[in-house]
Amino acid sequence: MIEKVLAIETSCDDTSVAIVDKTGHVISLVSASQDLAHEPYGGIVPEIASRNHSVQLLPLIDQAFIKAQLKWEDVQGLAVTNRPGLVGALIVGLVTAKSLSQAKGVPFIGVNHLEGHLLAPFLKDNDYAPPQDFQYPYIALAVSGGHTSIYRIKKFGHYEVLGSTKDDAVGEAFDKFAKMVGLGFPGGVRVDQWAKKGNPKSFEFPRSMINDDTLNMSFSGLKSAAARTVQELGPEKVQEHLADLCASFQEAIVDVLLSKLDFALKKYQLKRMIVTGGVSANSRLREKAFQLAEQKKYQVVIPPIRYCTDNAAMIGYVGIQRMNLGEFSDLTLPPFPQALSSDFKVLP
Ligand code: KG4
Ligand code: ZN
């Protein structure tokens, strides 16, 4: 039985290392954000992400052990994200995990980053634990810079994609909108902050596909509508109405996401839901998800922000469970830009 693993996450622009035990207890989690390195370019530059991972990863591994007050002898495995993500960024984590696996004589496993997000609500530490009665099955809304999907999670390893965005991911929509109104990168969190001071009813933005009978979504119409409004207003008025624009744009996204989540819960007759991925840090999405849960008597779990955004703890929790079921990777394991079709069962 593997009791503890060291986990590595480098799929995008956060370098993250964690030590996690088999119950999902996070013994240490250390991450380095690269926001400052990418900010001048207004978005993530893959080469810069890879280079920063190479510089930051080994010192973070040392820190993870120091923070946990543990040594290499205390971990029996390594978990590393090998899909989906930026290939150059994934390679840094994967090559490091393979080398350390050889050097330290511990097995390793490649983990699907999205599975990490889907199981993040089970993570716990000295300051946080999910509700004791939270368990499978549940509906998950996974919203990040690259992904926007709704899943039915029946049990560990059984994830059905119920619906996805047909175009932009919501994090991407937030980031593009932020750029349009001059808020720069990283956009989502800045839109969230400005929206707090604005009126969400000031501007009428479309809520595409909100009433269709699928769990698919679309955000490109919203993005185009916002671009038209920004152009019509002109730079001065945009600044004058910035808070209202942010609040109205954010509200349109949140309305669509929660309406789909509600629809999924009804359709599959479930009462439990989670919201996960970087965009689940959004304060309005959190607030309205809890309101929905209260109204409809659902149970909602939204992990603390350190487990919502990209982090190695969720990778470790997936990896340790899979290893304890006898699954391991070998040195031929490649990185993949996309998740594998075997990762998810896609419903017709
Ligand atoms: O999961 P994540 O950390 O990385 C991946 O994309 O896998 O998600 C990052 C995304 C970015 O698009 C960022 O703008 C968005 O999450 N985000 C937010 C907030 N915090 C992060 N979007 C809206 N409101 C926020 N508070
Ligand atoms: Zn992610």
Name the phi and psi angles at 57, rounded to 5. Answer: -65, -50
Tracing tokens 């919502």 back to the chain, one arrives at 308
Confidence of residue 345 (pLDDT cuts 50, 70, 90): confident
Tracing tokens 């959190």 back to the chain, one arrives at 286
CB atoms within 10 A of CB 306: 18
Question: What does the pLDDT read at residue 185?
Answer: 86
pLDDT tens-digit readout, 213-229: 999 999 999 999 999 99
Give the percent of the chain with pLDDT over 70: 99
Question: 112 forms bridges with which residues in the sheet?
Answer: 83
Question: What does the pLDDT read at residue 347?
Answer: 65
Confidence of residue 43 (pLDDT cuts 50, 70, 90): confident
Q: What residues does ligand 1 touch, defined as CB less than 6 Å away?
A: 12, 144-146, 171, 174-175, 186-189, 192, 277-279, 281-282, 309-310
C-alpha to C-alpha distance for 132 and 104, rounded to whole angstroms: 36
pLDDT tens-digit readout, 238-287: 999 999 999 999 999 999 999 999 999 999 999 999 999 999 999 999 99
Report CA(179)–ligand 1 centroid distance (Å). Answer: 14
- Tell me the mean pLDDT in the region 300-327: 96
Q: Would you say 203 and 245 are in contact if contact means Cβ atoms under 8 Å apart? A: yes
Cα-based angle 320, 15, 101 (whole degrees, multiple of 5): 45
Cis check for the bond before 131: say yes or no (omega within 30 of 0).
no
- Tell me the mean pLDDT in the region 135-143: 97
Question: 158 forms bridges with which residues in the sheet?
Answer: 155
Confidence of residue 348 (pLDDT cuts 50, 70, 90): low
Instruction: Give yes or no for residue 346 having a pLDDT over 80.
Output: no
Give the percent of the chain with pLDDT over 90: 93
Question: What does the pLDDT read at residue 42?
Answer: 82
- Residues contacting 191, CB < 8 A, separation 6+: 174, 177, 178, 183, 246, 249, 250
For a mutational test of ligand 1's pocket, the pick from 189, 222, 276, i.e. the residue with the most ligand atoms closer than 8 A to its C-beta, is: 189
Confidence of residue 99 (pLDDT cuts 50, 70, 90): very high
Closest ligand 1 atom, residue 186 Cα = 14
